[in-house]
Amino acid sequence: MKLRILGSLFVFSIYSACSTQTESSIEVSYANFEAAYRANPKIHVLDVRTPQEYQEGHVPGAVLLPLQDIEAKGRSVSLPFAKEDQIYVICRSGRRSVTAAKILQEAGYNKSISVQGGTLAWIKNGNSVER
Q: What is the mean pLDDT of the chain?
A: 87
pLDDT at 111 over 80: yes
Kindly indicate the confidence band of residue 86, based on its pLDDT and cuts at 50, 70 and 90.
Answer: very high
Higher pLDDT residue, 36 or 25?
36
Give strand ranges (E) for the chain.
27-28, 44-47, 63-64, 87-90, 112-115
Residues 6+ apart with CB under 8 A from 121: 30, 94, 115
Q: Which domains does the chain have, with CATH numbers?
A: 26-124 (3.40.250.10)
Hey, which residues are catalytic here?
Answer: 91
Laid out side by side, the sheet with 87-90 consists of 27-28, 112-115, 87-90, 44-47, 63-64
Q: For the segment 40-72, what is each residue's pLDDT rounded down to a tens digit?
A: 999 999 999 999 999 999 999 999 999 999 999
pTM over 0.85: no
